[in-house]
Amino acid sequence: MTGGQFLGDGPAVLAFDVGGTDTKAGLFDEHGSLREIVRVPTPYSTDGSGDAVLTQLAVLAGQFAARHPDIAPRAAGLIVPGLVDDDAGIGVRAENLGWQNVPFRDAASATLGAPVAFTHDVRAAGTAEYHLGAAGRFRNVMVVVIGTGIASALFIDGKPYSASGYAGEIGHAVVDVGGAPCACGGNGCLEAIASAGAITRLYNRDAAAPVAGAREVLDLARSGDALAASVWNTATDALGLALSQAVALLAPEAIVLGGGLAQAGNALFAPVEERMNSFLTFHRRPVLLPATVGENAGLVGAALGARSLLAGAQA
């Protein structure tokens, strides 16, 4: 999508997607085109602070400035994983990156010398899907990202809903009491059964020959492997159950499924929708839509957040 007309005309902005493994940095120009994207390893915080991440953001911004002297970003969007308090601008914790209670929004703003929009990576991806994807015509939308883990972004009456970062964690809602252990410390969480990581793990636990990923489990299920079919069906059943509960509570008009597992297309969407609907009676049935913004949805959402800080400003 580099060079694509994604955001439309507006101020140039920087976007940073600090991931569990890699950090992506993007420079969006006054036409909303992603002029350059850079990917570097995310530094682990050895002291609980976000200093290593912040230093890296400054270096990346400096590289963009040197290579693109014609583009003057006016704001930045920064997204991180883990538990994120959007309103307070704090990265509360990210176990696998080592930080705790880092005031990322204000610190990044001071480091970069520009206003910073700060949020969770899945909420940013959800924002991109909501504003640029297929769900934008609805006011009540749930965007579920199914990859290594499972999380969601909620839009209620047209507004994002995060509840200080605690909302949307459908991956850690229990769908199998006493079931498989989850990284969060619980058992039977949706994420421990239906994420791409869990599908791979649960297949390999009982398989004669291990596979590298959920895609292979699906391929094996299609070729008649009973274990693979069982793991896949258990996952889609669990997703259908979890989504039906979200429907009962929030009544979204649309549910967008994204992330690596959504690449499975109809092999995921058909059984999940059928299972979800089997649990619904009087409820309003949502449409299930595939995510359309693509692998840089988080980065695009971060850029939209930066643009929103400058709303009304001219390019």
Residues that bind Zn ion (CB under 5 A): 172, 182, 184, 186, 189
- Provide the β-strand partners of residue 27: 14, 36
For the CB of residue 20, give the shortest distance to Zn ion in the complex, in Å: 16
17: how many CB neighbours lie within 10 A of its CB?
28
Nearer to Zn ion, 19 or 186 (CB): 186
Contact present, 180 and 187 (Cβ < 8 Å): yes
Nearer to Zn ion, 185 or 312 (CB): 185
As given in the structure block, the two tokens for residue 299 are 């980065």
Pairing of strands 75-80, 83-85: unpaired
For the CB of residue 213, give the shortest distance to Zn ion in the complex, in Å: 21
Within 8 A by CB and 6+ apart from 140, the residues are 155, 156, 157, 250, 251, 252, 253, 254
For the CB of residue 24, give the shortest distance to Zn ion in the complex, in Å: 26
Q: Which residues of 60-84 are buried (b: 16+ CB within 10 A; e: fewer)?
A: bbeebeeeeeebebbbbbbbbbbbb
For the CB of residue 194, give the shortest distance to Zn ion in the complex, in Å: 11
Residue corresponding to tokens 């498989």: 180
Nearer to Zn ion, 186 or 290 (CB): 186
Nearer to Zn ion, 98 or 186 (CB): 186
Nearer to Zn ion, 56 or 152 (CB): 152
For the CB of residue 193, give the shortest distance to Zn ion in the complex, in Å: 10
- Provide the β-strand partners of residue 254: 141, 287
